[in-house]
Structure 1
Amino acid sequence: MKKGQACAFTFLLALFVILGMCQYKSGEAMGNGSLQPVKTIARVLENNGADIRQWTVYTREYAHYIENDAAFFKKLEELKKENRAFHWSFDTNHHMQKATGTYQHPFFQEKIQLVRTVTNNQSQTYILYEVKGLHWNKKIWKEVVEKIEKKSKQLFVKQPTFFTCIEGDFSDNMESGLFDYALHLSREFQATPVESLQEESLVSLSAYTGQWENVLPTNNHPMNLQIALRERLGGKTTVVIGTPIITIEY
């Protein structure tokens, strides 16, 4: 598999999972560790000398009660009313309606999306919520957790499952090689490798750890951790870690 194909495959897989086209298990309740993987990933990266550049948290819920234009725009007005500080935009075509609201905090951004698709006269609507920030700070993260808890109660009927992802850089060259270092990082999570992709300057490793209950089934073994390492020009190595999968292009 070529580099571009690998990145595209991972990105498309992430979209399928987020939009609910794959089944997975959700175990932890809000306030009892559902966002703990973010802190764990950040700690592992910092302990191994990585500079954190970006982190993201995604979640979504299928809005089965929104089946037509009237219900869609009624929900959109409700979202706008409840989130007046957000800047809203709207896109539409023959098969999709998408409303996006964003709010830029000093150190992180919130995004709410209401997306309705129509395929073969079948309508599906999802509410998506994303929080994204640069760098990493425990004090800021405490504020982020409070914001996510509050917003989740407002947006979703059921307890959501979170997809978390952190990106960073190693400034030094990998003495042991990319794949060996990916294995090292997986051991930091007490994870068992499931499958991998190895190229000259890119390694992607999927694994399973019993630390987290969110699980994505595969043909051979469940997984809930992905680690990607890519060598960059100038001696830097980019690392991306996500659970249950990486949800950004790398």
Structure 2
Amino acid sequence: MKSLNDIKNIAIILTLAYAGITVTFLTYMATSVRTYNEIITYKEHEINLAFGYLFLIGMFTLVVLLLFLFYRAITISNRLLQQADRASGNYTIVESVELDKERRANEEKMREAKLLFDKEVESKLTAMLIFSPENLAEDTAFLEAIMLKMAKEFSAVQGLAYKYNKTNKAFELAATYAYFSENVKQSFTLDEGIPGQVAVKKESLKINNVPQGYLTVLSGLGKGTPSALYVIPIVVDSETVALLELAFFNNIDELLQQVVEQLEPKLGNIYAKFLK
């Protein structure tokens, strides 16, 4: 649009200049009482000849300007028509071929990216399901092993594991990972707080952007607040029998979410052995 406005301004200036030259020349000719021979005589009438040259230059400039504007008008019209065709889905054969190539290339990239992502999910899931005999000796050791694997594979910085006590009808703290607070919640009932809601719904819950002060991680370098929390239920026969709370410094990404979704039923199958 800016270049088109510049062309319009130049056209106006040149047109006005040409009009001024033409009017001046015609006025001079009208007021002159000299004969035609006097006008075209170079030696005696150099001024008249100069005006003649200016007239020719003005005419030439006008013709060039008109041709240029005509060319620009055609170019802009073609561009607008092409844009309208693209907007309506109409393309030339060459454009259609190029767009088809681009679409196929993008689809291939997306397919390759998905394959790599699926392989990474499978690799992480396999690593999460490798347990030693000691890990499978009893339920508390199993829960501790899960938290350690989450720390290794996904950089979990803190973890709490709870087991359901049917007698008390409450979830009781069974194991911790990197948790140094004395205010750790020892138990909670169904539907109590975030863990209780997860236990009732039997669905994992991810929370990014955890409120400041909700959790604190202590280390030899100081303390920090995790930014994400993942609450994962372990369900056996449609009942939540254990629950994990895992904290992360980074927000929970798609990879971790996919692994957890596939991991949940497998953890339930393993944990069922401890209930027999």
TM-score range, shorter chain: under 0.3
When Rg is computed on C-alpha atoms for both structures, the one with the higher figure is 2
Greater fraction strand = 1
User: Highest relative contact order (Cα 8 Å, sep 6+), 1 or 2?
Assistant: 1
Higher helix fraction: Structure 1 or Structure 2? Answer: 2
